[in-house]
A and B are shown apart, each in its own frame.
Chain A
Amino acid sequence: MGLLALLMTIWSLRRFELIWLMTKGGPVGATETLVIDLYSQAFDSKELGSAAAIGMVGVVISLIVIIGSRLVARAVEKGDVR
């Protein structure tokens, strides 16, 4: 369960195409996620600098989730958590 939850979190962080093609983050940012914001900053507003900054934040968030998932996966292998 814990592993599944973390994997779903990672996949949700990665999701881009569906949101971009259906709403582009709109209306007025209601469906905007981190990667959508990054992409529109970079290629709609041409603000490469702020896009890179968003990217760094994204990397940090992803790393936290990924490390968490590794810890949970290791616990599952040991049999501590199910």
Chain B
Amino acid sequence: MRRFRFGVTARIVAVLVVLGVAVFPLYWMFVTALSSNSDLFADQPRLTPDLGQFGVFVDALAEGKAAGWLLNSLIIAVGTMVISVGLGIPLGYALSRFSFWGKAVLTVVLLFTQMLPEALMVVPLFALFRRFELLDSLAGLVLVNSAFVLPIVALILKGAIDGIPKELEEAARADGARPFTTLTRINMPLIAPSIAATAVIAFFHAWNEYVFAVTFIFNPELQPASVGIANFIGELGTPIQTVMAVAFLFTLPAVAFYLLVQKYVVSGMTAGAVKG
């Protein structure tokens, strides 16, 4: 009996520790944003937010640039999500159900591209984008982010479709459904959790993406928030409160979106068990 209790207590403590490690930086960001200059450099760090400083958030948004950055990030993230999931569903279906020439090679190549460092691709992509006049445009960023997240999306969805019994599709075919109808009417409802999971993955990949955004975008008006926040860090001085306020605003929508779909994500991830 005592051992059982000890186990429960230990587990609660462990959960609290992990939660603290995960949540504390977010809280610290919030507190730092709401600190006065003297608090920032005081001997005793301030542990509770000074709500009287709430104007930082208003200032950060009113200054104009931050809101634009967040909007750019949102456009890129949603665009990437739509394209990569829209293409990933048929691709995953084809990889799972059809046999065609080069399928094994294609699957392995998809895995490889997922593992190559993205920064290696910056130089060739830069040359390519200059030729196609995709530099300095949000559409270019959507394309490149989609290209990098599509393999993960397709492989997760392939795994999910692998888990659906073939008999269901055979029944649909017996009723006269074509492959495309089978995909949209039979398979997609069944793998909805995995689709949600891949949507989250694609969204966050593009939302957090920095390398391509900082390289391919020159116009400050088109910068996403990840680049904008980093540019605050200056040689002469860094407006710490503003950085933290914008960073907090940058984190919030992402957390909100994740909470909205998180109940699907866990089951979706394990259903599409991709190894590697």
A and B from one complex:
yes
| A contact residues vs B (CB 8 Å cutoff) | 10, 13-14, 16-17, 21, 34-35, 38-39, 42-43, 48, 51-52, 55, 58-59, 62-63, 65-66, 69-70, 73, 77
User: Mostly helix, strand, loop or mixed at chain A's interface?
Assistant: helix
Find out whether the CB atom of B117 lies under 8 angstroms from the CB atom of A16: yes
Question: Contacts of B257 on A, CB cut-off 8 Å?
Answer: none
Q: Could you tell me the distance in whole angstroms from the C-beta of A45 to the nearest C-beta in chain B?
A: 12
Find out whether the CB atom of B123 lies under 8 angstroms from the CB atom of A51: yes
Q: A65 to B117, alpha carbons, bound, how many Å?
A: 12
Question: Contacts of B215 on A, CB cut-off 8 Å?
Answer: 43
Q: A62 to B111, alpha carbons, bound, how many Å?
A: 12
Contact of A21 among B115, B124, B127, B233 (CB under 8 A): B233
Chain B interface, number of residues (Cβ within 8 angstroms): 21
Question: Contacts of B120 on A, CB cut-off 8 Å?
Answer: 35, 38, 55, 58-59, 62
Given contacts A16-B117, A48-B123, A70-B111, 20 further A-B contacts (CB under 8 A): A14-B115, A16-B118, A16-B210, A17-B210, A21-B210, A21-B230, A21-B233, A38-B120, A39-B119, A39-B211, A42-B123, A51-B123, A52-B124, A55-B123, A58-B117, A59-B120, A62-B115, A62-B117, A69-B276, A70-B108
Q: In this assembly, does B275 line the interface, its C-beta being within 8 Å of a C-beta of chain A?
A: yes
Q: Could you tell me the distance in whole angstroms from the C-beta of A5 to the nearest C-beta in chain B?
A: 14
Find out whether the CB atom of B119 lies under 8 angstroms from the CB atom of A35: yes
Residue on B nearest A76 in the bound complex, by CB = B275
Question: Contacts of A77 on B, CB cut-off 8 Å?
Answer: 275
Q: Could you tell me the distance in whole angstroms from the C-beta of A70 to the nearest C-beta in chain B?
A: 7
Question: Contacts of A73 on B, CB cut-off 8 Å?
Answer: 275-276
Q: Could you tell me the distance in whole angstroms from the C-beta of B203 to the nearest C-beta in chain A?
A: 18
Question: Contacts of A51 on B, CB cut-off 8 Å?
Answer: 123
Q: A37 to B55, alpha carbons, bound, how many Å?
A: 41
Q: A58 to B118, alpha carbons, bound, how many Å?
A: 11
| CB under 8 Å from chain A, chain B span 89-119 | 108, 111-112, 115-119
Find out whether the CB atom of B122 lies under 8 angstroms from the CB atom of A14: no
Find out whether the CB atom of B119 lies under 8 angstroms from the CB atom of A38: yes
Q: A51 to B119, alpha carbons, bound, how many Å?
A: 11
Q: A73 to B135, alpha carbons, bound, how many Å?
A: 39
Q: Could you tell me the distance in whole angstroms from the C-beta of A2 to the nearest C-beta in chain B?
A: 13
Question: Contacts of A38 on B, CB cut-off 8 Å?
Answer: 119-120, 122-123
